[in-house]
Every structure is written in C-alpha cells, then in structure tokens.
Chain A
Amino acid sequence: MAGGGAPTPSKGGKKSVDFMVNLIPTIDLMSVLISFLLITAVWTQIARIDTDQAISQNTSAPPEQKEKEKNVNILLTADEAVMNITGEKPPKRIPRLPEDKYFKDVRQTLKELKERVLVAPKVMLAAEDKVLYKNIIQVMDICLDVGLTGITVANPNIVQGELL
C-alpha cells in the first residue's frame, strides 16, 4: 500500500522535493464512513403532504356564510375531474382518459382558476367513494405544483353542492 511520509534522499545526497502522502488513514476513514452511511441510509424517501380536513357525517349542505369565500372546488369521480371557483357555473369537466391529456388539462385548468382569484385561494378537494388514494394524491401534487397550497379534503356533499 501507499506508505512513507518523510521526504527521501535522492542519489546525489540532496533531499527530494517529492513527498509521499500516507493514504492508509484516509482509506481507513473512508471505509468507516462508508460502513456507517450504508448502515444508516434511508433508501425510500418518505415525506408528507399537509392538508386540513373538513369531513364529517352531518354536512349534506354547505354551512351558511355571510360572504362566500372564493375557493377552488375539485371533485374527483371515477371518470372525470370537475372543477370551478365558488359561485361559477357550469364547472369545467376533464375526462380521466387518456391519462396524459388528463394531467395536462387538470394542470392548465388549475392554473387558470388560480389566476382568476386574486387572493391565494383555498382548495376544497373531494372524491367519490370509488376513487383511489393515488388519484387524489396526484391531483394534490399538481395543486401544489401550480401554487395552490391550502388544500382541504372536504366532504363530497359540500363540494358537489358548490359544483353542481
């Protein structure tokens, strides 16, 4: 292995300007570091999406409000995503298939809705019973990507009341 630490004399008796760096401690340190980091490594990056919840059983009708907030309402069904801003009808309907077009259209619509509301709007997101968890997370991810950060998972009845 790489040894030596002191300058060695050359043939003529003059001291050599070359200096050997002892690499053994470096390699030892690297080996220990690699072992430690491999043992403590977290291979799956798990994180969280923070939301509020507005789900309860007795909310078939939206609560009375003096002045309605302008929320972005999203209802996910098995076949489509329905969206609007509170009070605006008819809502925009985006078919679930083909998937690529669905994601593009959802993004585009959310961007437009966000731009139409001056104050940062809340998102009221709800889904029908058959909709899978992964589909809800996908829409939440798009919401966060376009800057809609205040996501509330709401009772489907409330959101349906705002949309239809």
Chain B
Amino acid sequence: MPIKKPGKQLGKSIKLKNMKLTVGHGRASPYADLNITPMVDMLTMIVVFLLMTFSATGEILFVSKDILLPPAFHATDLERAPVIAVSKFTIGFEGQFTMNTADVNETAYPDWKLTPLYTLLDAEREAWNAAHAGEPFKGEVIIQSDNEVPFSVLKLIMATCGKAKYINMNFAIRQIGKSEAPLGD
C-alpha cells in the first residue's frame, strides 16, 4: 500500500469557533482539539450499564471459593436468613466451621441429626425468639451448597434443619439468563 499524506484530522471539521484556541495571526495553535463527544457517550453507556446491574440488596451471601453454585433461571431475591454453607470438604453455619462433609453419613448419624449443626441452629432460633418476642418463628434457612455435593449429605442437613424447626428451605443458586439455562425448551 502506498504511503499517503494524512488528511484532515477528526475534530478539525467541527465548526465550533469557541472550542478553537488560536495564538497570533494564522499560526497553528499549540493546543490540540479534544473531541469529548465520544468520551461523554462512553461514560453515559457505562453509567447506564452499571445502573442496570446495580443491586440494592447488596451481598447477603459470601460465596467461598470452594463453593460453586448451580445455575438456574427461575429464582427470587435473597432475603436475610441463616446460611448453611456446604462445600465438598466442610459444612459451615453463618461463616463458622461446623463439621467436615466427609463425616456426614447415615452410619455416623442414624437419627439423621447432625449434632454440631443442630446445636448452632437451635442457638440461632433461641436468639431469634428472644429478639422477636411474640412473633411466630418463620423457620427460614438458606442452603448454599456446591454443585457436586451429593443428596446424601443434603438430605441429612435438611433433616437436621427440620428437627431444629427450620422448615422453610431456600437453595442458593447463581442466576443466569433463560437462553443459558437447560430448561429443555
């Protein structure tokens, strides 16, 4: 390709006299024109995008690196409730280590009551009842489990929750778009 002399620069053609600063008579200005229109456009688009993705509820759940949440399309917004975090290695309650996942099985807990978890759930319920005297206990709990955790573990956790009167289970998921979700349609 032959080398050509550059033509008019972008921005020179705009006839905004007030934006042009000239020094002397006919001499080239030492100041370059800065076309700020694309910059304002870009800033506007970034602001609109960030406002659309803004979540007023904030982060209710702290997602540990060991927990990869399953994706789903249909879901509702999170509400504050006690969180049981289940990874392939550990089970935690409200950010506190409770027990190892490997220890959870029907042989070790034939009554399906995970004692360390039950103790914490019971204490939490007592604290809630003390703080909300006269109000009926909602029994809401969020189970934040890793993708690969088997139902044998979840089953025992859910049974323990039931024994501690937490019967309203909320499964934490990673919300995705309808086109990405395997809904079979």
Using CB atoms and an 8 Å cutoff, list the residues of chain A in contact with chain B. 1-4, 8, 18, 20, 23, 26-27, 30-31, 33-34, 37-38, 40-42, 44-53, 55-57, 76, 99-100, 102-108, 127-134, 136-138, 140-142, 144-145, 153, 155-156
Q: Do residues B19 and A2 form an inter-chain contact, with CB atoms below 8 A?
A: yes
Q: Do residues B18 and A20 form an inter-chain contact, with CB atoms below 8 A?
A: yes
Q: Do residues B50 and A107 form an inter-chain contact, with CB atoms below 8 A?
A: no
Chain A residues positioned under 8 Å from B168 (CB to CB): 50, 52
Query: A38–B163 Cα gap in the complex (Å)?
Result: 43
Cβ of B121 < 8 Å from any Cβ of A?
A: no
7 tightest Cβ-Cβ pairs between the two chains A and B: A103-B184, A47-B75, A37-B50, A129-B152, A107-B184, A144-B74, A57-B112
Query: A20–B184 Cα gap in the complex (Å)?
Result: 56
Segment from B5-13, B125-133, B143-151 that makes contact with A: B143-151
Q: Do residues B18 and A8 form an inter-chain contact, with CB atoms below 8 A?
A: yes
Chain B, interface size category, equals 35 or more
Q: Do residues B70 and A134 form an inter-chain contact, with CB atoms below 8 A?
A: yes
Cβ of B173 < 8 Å from any Cβ of A?
A: yes
Given A38-B50, A42-B55, A46-B69, A53-B169 contact (CB < 8 Å): yes
Chain B residues positioned under 8 Å from A107 (CB to CB): 183-185
Q: Do residues A49 and B173 form an inter-chain contact, with CB atoms below 8 A?
A: yes
Query: A41–B182 Cα gap in the complex (Å)?
Result: 27
Cβ of B92 < 8 Å from any Cβ of A?
A: no
Q: Do residues B171 and A129 form an inter-chain contact, with CB atoms below 8 A?
A: no
Q: Which of A30, A44, A132, A142 contacts B151 (CB 8 A)?
A: A132
Chain B CB count within 10 A is highest, among A27, A33, A48, A132, for A48
Q: Do residues B183 and A130 form an inter-chain contact, with CB atoms below 8 A?
A: no
Chain B, 78-122, CB within 8 A of any chain A CB: 78-79, 110-113
Q: Which of B17, B36, B47, B175 contacts A46 (CB 8 A)?
A: B175
Given A56-B162, A133-B151, A137-B70, A48-B47 contact (CB < 8 Å): no
Q: Which of A26, A40, A133, A141 contacts B147 (CB 8 A)?
A: A133
Q: Which of B19, B72, B151 contacts A129 (CB 8 A)?
A: B151
Q: Do residues A41 and B169 form an inter-chain contact, with CB atoms below 8 A?
A: no
Chain A residues positioned under 8 Å from B167 (CB to CB): 52-53
Q: Do residues A27 and B159 form an inter-chain contact, with CB atoms below 8 A?
A: no
Chain A CB count within 10 A is highest, among B16, B17, B39, B72, for B72
Using CB atoms and an 8 Å cutoff, list the residues of chain B in contact with chain A. 16-19, 34, 36, 39-40, 43-44, 46-47, 50-51, 53-55, 58-61, 63, 69-70, 72-79, 110-113, 142, 145-152, 154-155, 158-159, 161-163, 167-175, 181-185
Q: Do residues A44 and B159 form an inter-chain contact, with CB atoms below 8 A?
A: no
Chain B residues positioned under 8 Å from A99 (CB to CB): 182
Q: Do residues B36 and A41 form an inter-chain contact, with CB atoms below 8 A?
A: no
A48-B142, A133-B146 given; 20 more Cβ-contact pairs under 8 Å: A23-B36, A37-B54, A41-B50, A42-B53, A42-B59, A46-B59, A46-B60, A46-B173, A46-B175, A48-B171, A53-B169, A56-B112, A76-B151, A107-B184, A132-B149, A133-B70, A133-B147, A136-B151, A137-B70, A141-B72
Q: Do residues A133 and B154 form an inter-chain contact, with CB atoms below 8 A?
A: yes
Query: A51–B167 Cα gap in the complex (Å)?
Result: 9
Pairs A–B under 8 Å by Cβ, sample size 6: A20-B18, A46-B174, A48-B77, A103-B182, A107-B185, A141-B183
